[in-house]
Amino acid sequence: MKKNKIKKTPSRPTFLIIAGDGINCEKETKLAFQRSHAEAEIMHINDLLTSPARLFNFQGLAIPGGFSFGDELGSGQIMALKFKAVMNDLFQEYVAQRHPIIGICNGFQILVKMNLLPESGKKKRMFALAPNYGRQFIDRWVTLEVASNSICKWTEAIKGKKIRLPIRNGEGRVVFDKKWPSGPLYLAERGQIPLRYESKNSEVIDADSIAGVCDESGFILGMMPHPEAILLESHQHAIEDDILKSMVTYLQHS
């Protein structure tokens, strides 16, 4: 099988932003990458599925938030099935080559249902994103703690910091399979929980505190808060050091 090769642009890394069928944050995500000194292109999901090898024209991939396919069959389920049905092998090759991938909100749900998080390639999912308590839609600002021991390349430049981001979702509650009760502690000790919601007792590691998870390589990040939603200085909690910029900096110096 002929291996696909990436076209590299060292000074400005290139990212593909998925759009279409209910995803609704692609323009903000593109602008956020551009403001982080990266090149970004928006592509409809159908265009990528028609020509899957185009994925390798980009150093990284972003799946933004929204309500893909109206959350039918569950948040992110249909888009995850489409990816797996049409380009699963190419996706696995892309992951194996350690291209950075980020899934934001609905994108996080998609990555989980593709079995790319928290450990890629597992036959059985031991981790999911469930409806919030009381089935409430949450729309508010949250404070996140960036783990000092994070292996996630997306947080390489901001380890140990606290950041403020908006969150808006109806199915963002992390749950683990009952057969894996030690899951939160296991991932935390391995540095795979780079983002946690701030709490009074930050030493407690539980599923409810998890805001973002990375895979064992550190190149795939899924997170519920929206880093693309604080683009301008006029925004209430705009930050200088952010998650997207951290990855761009990593790629520029790796």
Give the CATH number, domain containing residue 222: 3.40.50.880
Those residues with Cβ within 8 angstroms of residue 106's Cβ, 6 or more apart along the chain or in another chain: 22, 23, 63, 64, 65, 66, 67, 68, 75, 76, 169
- Within a domain: residue 99? yes
Residues for the chain: how many in total? 254
Number of domains, the chain: 1
Q: Is 93 a catalytic residue?
A: no
Over residues 7-57, the pLDDT tens digits come to 454 589 999 999 999 999 999 999 999 999 999 999 999 999 999 999 999
Torsion over CA: 137, 141, 143, 146 (sign): positive
- Within a domain: residue 8? no
Query: What integer best gives the mean pLDDT of the chain?
Result: 89
- Decide if 140 contacts 181 (C-beta within 8 A): no
- Decide if 194 contacts 246 (C-beta within 8 A): no
Please, which residues bridge with residue 78 across strands? none
Query: Kind of pairing, strands 162-169 and 138-146?
Result: antiparallel
Q: Is 214 a catalytic residue?
A: no
CA 68/CA 215 separation, integer angstroms: 23
Catalytic pick among 105, 119, 145, 214: 105
- Within a domain: residue 249? yes
CA 34/CA 176 separation, integer angstroms: 35
- Within a domain: residue 7? no
Residue 1 has pLDDT above 50, yes or no: no
Mean pLDDT, range 66-80, rounded to an integer: 87
- Within a domain: residue 2? no
- pLDDT band with cut points at 50, 70 and 90 for residue 122: confident
Catalytic pick among 28, 156, 171, 228: 228
Catalytic pick among 28, 99, 152, 226: 226
Please, which residues bridge with residue 40 across strands? 15
Residue 4 has pLDDT above 80, yes or no: no
CA 212/CA 197 separation, integer angstroms: 9
Q: Is 189 a catalytic residue?
A: no
Q: Which domain holds residue 68?
A: 14-253
- Decide if 222 contacts 111 (C-beta within 8 A): yes
- Chain centroid offset of residue 63 CA: 7
Provide the 3-class DSSP secondary structure of residue 100: coil
Residue 232 has pLDDT above 80, yes or no: no
- Within a domain: residue 164? yes
Angle at 176 between CA 139 and CA 215, to 5 degrees: 85
- Within a domain: residue 79? yes
- Within a domain: residue 213? yes
